[in-house]
Structure formats: structure tokens, C-alpha cells
Amino acid sequence: MDKVFIEALEIECVIGIYDWERKIRQPVVLDIEMAFDNTVPAATDNIEHTLDYKAVSKRLIQFVSESDFGLVETLAERCAAIITGEFGVRHVRLKLSKPGAVRGSKAVGVIIERGQA
């Protein structure tokens, strides 16, 4: 199956389980792969026939920047639900990174896959 992807989408939000984390905004980074048949938009050259990565990105920026979950797991699950539920994506692989959360690491986070592979 073809894919449409969004790489390294960085968004600031309230995220974390500790008291100090509830008082600041931190960056999270999304890497997303969405199953989509790209043959139709390729044949028609029409944006209406695509899975529009800009539209998905704008929706996620709006949602994540207003969110204040404790766990990265919860935020990742809710983002995947938006992609499958609102954009009709049958399968999504989503990596949510929290850079700088653990000293000595580049990033920590989760990778989830939802929908029919």
C-alpha cells in the first residue's frame, strides 16, 4: 500500500506527569505514516483526490498545541484517532518523541500502529 507521510512535525504543548511539567510547554515531535492509494491523485493531478498532508498537519497542530495530557501514550492514541476517524485513513503508524525528557537521550516516546495493516 502507498503511504503519505509527515516527518518531524514539532509542536509545543503541556505534557508530562510531574508537577513542574504541568507549568511549562514542551516540544513533542510527530513522525507519521498513513496508508493511502496515491494512484488516483497521481492520475488526476488533483489535490481533492489526495490525503492532504497539510490538512492533517494543521489539524494535529491545533489539537496537540491545545492538549495537556500526562502520558505520551495518551497523546499518541488521540492523534491516531483523529487521523483514522476524521481523515478516513485505514492504517497509521505514529511515532511521538519527547526530546530532552531523559538526560543523555536524544528523545524518548512511543510508536503505535492503528487500523488494518
Does the footprint of ligand LV4SOB2L cover residue 24 (CB under 6 A)?
Answer: no
Does the footprint of ligand LV4SOB2L cover residue 101 (CB under 6 A)?
Answer: yes
Q: Does residue 52 contact residue 108 with C-beta atoms inside 8 Å?
A: no
Residue number, 93 or 98, with CB nearest to ligand LV4SOB2L: 98
CB of residue 11 to ligand LV4SOB2L, shortest distance in Å? 16
Q: Which residues pair with 12 in a beta bridge?
A: 27
Q: Which three cell numbers stand for residue 109?
A: 516516546
**Binder among 9, 21, 82, 99 for ligand LV4SOB2L (CB under 6 A):** 21
Q: Which residues bind ligand LV4SOB2L (CB under 6 A)?
A: 16-18, 21, 71-73, 98, 101
